[in-house]
């Protein structure tokens, strides 16, 4: 026999032994079994006398629970009770809030689609899309006010910026033309005449 099985059998034997638990004694239990002496407790009542064995708190809780459960069942089974109305009030508010949020979101998406369509179909010149109100580009947060914001005439600045942009564009085009010409053009490099 191995040591492990011997240990398991010893453990099983010790678990088989009944646990020694003191059972509850009532006041009337006193001297009927020959326990003598009196220490003044309910267990040591004088022989022949019965002690006061009152109901415990568990009994009173159980008795009080019966009408409480009956009342709560009656309230829960009534379809028009105040609790049902209270809970459904919150759910209808939540549904209304969700519907309002969805409507606002759908309107925003529709406006976005319309704006994209307008921007894609707007005719563009060399300077980009037409701007009807150039001062609108200067509008922004009041916390970050640019130096040119206000009623200042910006026509000279706008003219200067447009000239600078055209000048840069001309330089870029001439640079590309010189690179193209230095490579001999596409027709000569591919051999097609």
For 33-63, the pLDDT digits (tens) are 555 555 555 555 555 556 677 888 999 999 9
Would you give the end-to-end CA distance of the chain in angstroms? 105
pLDDT of residue 145: 60
pLDDT of residue 110: 92
Average pLDDT over residues 15-38: 59
How far, in Å, CA of 99 to CA of 151, rounded?
44
> Which range has the worst mean pLDDT, 22-26, 43-47, 179-183?
43-47
Average pLDDT over residues 10-21: 69
Name the residue among 118, 158, 150, 152 with its Cα closest to residue 134. 158
Average pLDDT over residues 103-123: 85
Backbone angles phi, psi at 166, to 5 degrees: -65, -40
183 neighbors 189 (Cβ within 8 angstroms): yes
Burial bucket for residue 138 (CB in 10 Å: 0-12, 13-18, 19+) = middle
pLDDT of residue 150: 66
Read off the pLDDT band of 25 (50, 70, 90): low
pLDDT of residue 93: 86
Average pLDDT over residues 127-149: 63
Read off the pLDDT band of 193 (50, 70, 90): very low
pLDDT of residue 20: 64
Mean residue pLDDT across the chain: 75
Position 67 pLDDT exceeds 90: yes
């Amino acid at each position: 026999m191995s040591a492990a099985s011997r240990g398991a059998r010893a453990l099983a034997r010790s678990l088989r032994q009944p646990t020694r638990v003191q059972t509850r004694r009532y006041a009337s239990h006193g001297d009927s079994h020959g326990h003598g002496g009196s220490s003044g407790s309910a267990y040591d009542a004088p022989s022949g006398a019965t002690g006061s064995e009152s109901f415990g708190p568990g009994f009173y809780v159980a008795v009080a629970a019966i009408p409480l459960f009956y009342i709560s069942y009656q309230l829960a089974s009534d379809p028009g009770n105040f609790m049902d109305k209270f809970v459904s009030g919150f759910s209808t508010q939540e549904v209304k809030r969700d519907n309002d949020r969805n409507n606002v979101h759908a309107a925003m998406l529709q406006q976005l689609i319309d704006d994209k369509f307008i921007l894609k179909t707007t005719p563009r010149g060399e300077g980009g899309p037409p701007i009807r109100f150039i001062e609108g580009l200067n509008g922004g947060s009041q916390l970050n006010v640019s130096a040119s914001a206000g009623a200042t005439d910006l026509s000279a600045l706008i003219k200067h910026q447009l000239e600078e942009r055209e000048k840069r564009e001309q330089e870029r085009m001439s640079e590309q033309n010189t690179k193209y010409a230095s490579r001999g053009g596409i027709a000569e490099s591919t051999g097609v005449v």
